[in-house]
Structure 1
């Protein structure tokens, strides 16, 4: 997954071979709602936002940052 930010806020991404545009106002997610594996010493943070692909399909994404980049934690249709 690749995530592009504008002014430190998600704007677009590539996930599962598709391009997604952020089509709502992203909500910042703090580490308190994530289930953090014990081996991860870094608090997690991320975003929840709606993404829309080129075909017009939309999903809500929960994404989080870790030491090796951004990851999709969950999607909602």
Structure 2
């Protein structure tokens, strides 16, 4: 995170650089039981790996850290 925005991450053994403007997603978009939604938020962004492969990620923050919720090629 830089200035509260995601800029890079490591996922599935690859380094990813965020290559668009991240969209913040709030509790209402996550399909999780209400008791697990307290404080849950996330981001949707396009990221590109070191080989130039770009995908879109939905990531969410939970009590134990950040998780990839979904990704699209």
Please give the TM-score of this superposition, normalised by the length of structure 2: 0.93
Quick check: 1:55 aligned with 2:57? no
Unaligned runs of 5+ in 1: none
Deviations 1:13-69 (A, max 9, x none): 000000000000000001101011355252420000000000000000000000000
More strand by share: 1
Root-mean-square deviation (CA, aligned residues, Å) is 1.2
Question: Structure 1 CA distance, aligned partners of 2:2 and 2:35?
Answer: 31
Question: Structure 1 CA distance, aligned partners of 2:37 and 2:28?
Answer: 14
Aligned to 2:31: 35
Please give the TM-score of this superposition, normalised by the length of structure 1: 0.88
The count of corresponding residues between Structure 1 and Structure 2 is: 73
More helix by share: 2
Structure 1 stretches of 4+ moved >6 Å: none
Aligned to 1:73: 69
